Amino acid sequence: MTSAPPRWDLTNVYPGLDSPVLTQDIDWVKDATESLKKLYEEELINIDETSDKQRINQAISTMVDKMNDLMIKAMTIRAFLHSYITTDSFNQQAAKMGSQFDQVMVGVQKVSVLLEAWVGQFKDILPEVLALGSSAGEHAFPIEEMAEQSQYLMSEQEEILTSELSLSGSRAWGKLQGVVTSQKTVDFELDGEIKTLPMPALINLHAHPEEDVRKRAYEAEIEAWESLKEPLAACMNGIKGWVNVLNDHRGRKDALHQPLDQARIDRETLEAMMGAMEDSFPAFRRYFKAKAARFGKKALPWWNIFAPTGKLDKEYSFEEAKNFILKNFGNFSDELRDFAKNAFEKNWIDAEQRSGKRGGAFCMSVPGVKESRILCNFDGSLDQVMTIAHELGHGYHNFNMYQAGKTPLQRQTPMTMAETASIMCETIVFNAVMDTITDPQEELALLETALIGDSQVIVDIYSRFLFEKEVFDRRQQAELSADELNEIMEDAQAKTYGDGLDPDFRHKFMWTWKPHYYSAGLSFYNFPYAFGMLFGVGLYAIYKQRGDDFISDYKKLLSSTGEAPAAELAARFGIDIRSKKFWADSLAVVAKRIDRYCEL
């Protein structure tokens, strides 16, 4: 890369951590939370299912308006503080302010619990109440969902205590995992010199063109996680134990119950999708073996899973990546291109790899300015170009909801549908590259890039699902040692990768650095990725059939992903997500890539 990738800019949100406006807004959130609590204690508590329906409608409308105002301000502050915490874990001021604001958010959560329980009592008459219109009627879906989920609440005092204890419990464990993994560095010989690499940079070497570098990076990573396995195992045990206890007390069937509700799908849908995924494993194993053969092996050691093949030696500068993405987004729609151009020009993207910055990539909404911010770890590879396109898709999704005037309560999109635009944008860029290729070796390299991603979202995601399910089940009985977690991970990889992965060189420490396992509020943060990818592939096929006529309906879908179950949203495009055939048809697209890869 000829120039350093950018860091993001949030000065239009607040000038900095010392901003008086930030302090004032934090105080405003505290006051607004207290105002909501007062509304509940002095007015709402006196309204029950026997009250006049118009009065109930007005009360719910008042609550909705206040909640939306509170959420805009609170989510903006949280995003701003998160922008510092995720990019510089050494920043003690940001860490302290984040911790202090967590306590403020506990107050918000406590009031939300009271309001959810209050709405729950109207469950049987809500259709009539919401039909009267006003803000309550405009928020019919989130209000009905709130009432439905209220049956899984403990008593008021128990829920309040849980919120308060979370700061020293589940959230503390999650923070510890983030700090430990982001601050770890490794001295590594690269290009003839010893470099001190943060863990994301070391992990990115899995895709290095030289096998010796990949192998040494794998060995260095395993050694690094070995030195940290005990505190990270404690984090895992703390969070999974916390979730299990709360699930029991809240009357949840199992650890999957809440994630399915959060994803707005049912078990029939999950089983159809997972069944189709499992059926696809033989094809993926054929790909793994074909790739292994290119390295003179029968099966892939972990360090070759992400290895490039073919002859696509181009390394992108960030400027080249930007221009490439903009050009191809423009082929889909001018609006998508213009949105991305604005994101690049306004420095919405933090792409630089550096110590103290968390690995991976994400997009976060900043509702106070109706914008998004994107974190990635850009290394010049095509894979990272695709990552930027993917995360810009999330930003475009947010853009459509903002453009449609959706409120925070209306924008609450489940993970399953949250990948809709990101997969579309990633597919647009990938297919544009494929269309320009005539050299078989370049085609091979591009197919490799695609299949690495496909295999991670289908095969590896399935292994993560199996791992997490087993951890939840065993954690009911006792704490798990780090070595037990390793065994569960390797067993999950054996069941999914099968004989395509060398049994002597799996990755037993995959559980250490994936932040998805360390969120008490988002268990099974894995299968929604597979849903999103396969749903996106299916939508792209419809786009290719309909052309520009598709875009208007697509934009309406993006703007309304927070206002209907996944099955209802999919049905707008004639998709039955409870049918195994839909998922199999999407996986057949991937199978064709595998066939072509094996031919080359």
Mean per-residue pLDDT, 387-400: 95
pLDDT at residue 518 tops 60 = yes
Amino acid identity at 298 = K
Percent of the chain surpassing pLDDT 90:
73
Percent of the chain surpassing pLDDT 70:
99
State both tokens at 571.
């049905």
The Cα-based distances of 4 to 7, 323, 354, 560 in angstroms read: 9, 16, 11, 37
| Confidence at 110, pLDDT banded by 50, 70, 90 | confident
pLDDT at residue 11 tops 90 = yes
**540 versus 275: which is more confidently predicted?**
275
3-state secondary structure 256-318: CHHHHHHHCCCHHHHHHHHHHHHHCHHHHHHHHHHHHHHCCCCCECHHHCCCCCCCCCCCCCH
- pTM score, whole prediction: 0.83
**544 versus 485: which is more confidently predicted?**
485
State both tokens at 376.
């990635």
User: What phi-psi label fits residue 519: left (phi over 0), alpha (psi between -120 and 50 degrees) or beta?
Assistant: beta
The SS3 assignment for 165 reads helix
Q: What does the pLDDT look like over 26-80, one tens digit per residue?
A: 999 999 999 999 999 999 999 888 899 999 999 999 999 999 999 999 999 999 9
Most confident listed range (2-6, 121-125, 311-315): 121-125
Most confident listed range (161-165, 207-211, 468-472): 468-472
Query: Can you tell me the distance from the alpha carbon of 154 to that of 151, in angstroms, rounded to the nearest whole number?
Result: 8
CA dihedral sign, ordered 384, 386, 389, 395 = negative
Q: What does the pLDDT look like over 538-593, one tens digit per residue?
A: 888 888 888 888 899 999 999 999 999 999 999 988 889 999 999 999 999 999 99
| Confidence at 355, pLDDT banded by 50, 70, 90 | confident
Query: What pLDDT does 432 receive?
Result: 86
Query: What pLDDT does 512 receive?
Result: 96
Mean per-residue pLDDT, 386-395: 94
| Confidence at 1, pLDDT banded by 50, 70, 90 | very low
State both tokens at 501.
């992965």
Query: What pLDDT does 314 receive?
Result: 75
Query: Can you tell me the distance from the alpha carbon of 422 to that of 417, in angstroms, rounded to the nearest whole number?
Result: 10
Average pLDDT, the chain: 92
> What DSSP string runs through 491-505?
HHHHHHHGGGB-TTS
Query: What pLDDT does 579 receive?
Result: 94
pLDDT at residue 354 tops 80 = yes
State both tokens at 46.
């006196």
Q: What does the pLDDT look like over 182-202, one tens digit per residue?
A: 889 999 999 899 999 989 889
Q: Contact, 255 vs 243, CB < 8 A?
A: yes
Query: Can you tell me the distance from the alpha carbon of 207 to that of 84, in angstroms, rounded to the nearest whole number?
Result: 28
Query: Can you tell me the distance from the alpha carbon of 237 to that of 154, in angstroms, rounded to the nearest whole number?
Result: 23
Paired strand residues for 349:
374
The SS3 assignment for 408 reads coil
Q: Contact, 539 vs 424, CB < 8 A?
A: yes
Q: What does the pLDDT look like over 89-100, one tens digit per residue?
A: 899 999 999 989
Q: What does the pLDDT look like over 150-175, one tens digit per residue?
A: 999 888 889 889 988 998 999 999 99
- β-pairing, 371-375 vs 349-350, is parallel
Q: Which of 450, 463, 422, 439 is nearest to 589 (CA)?
A: 450
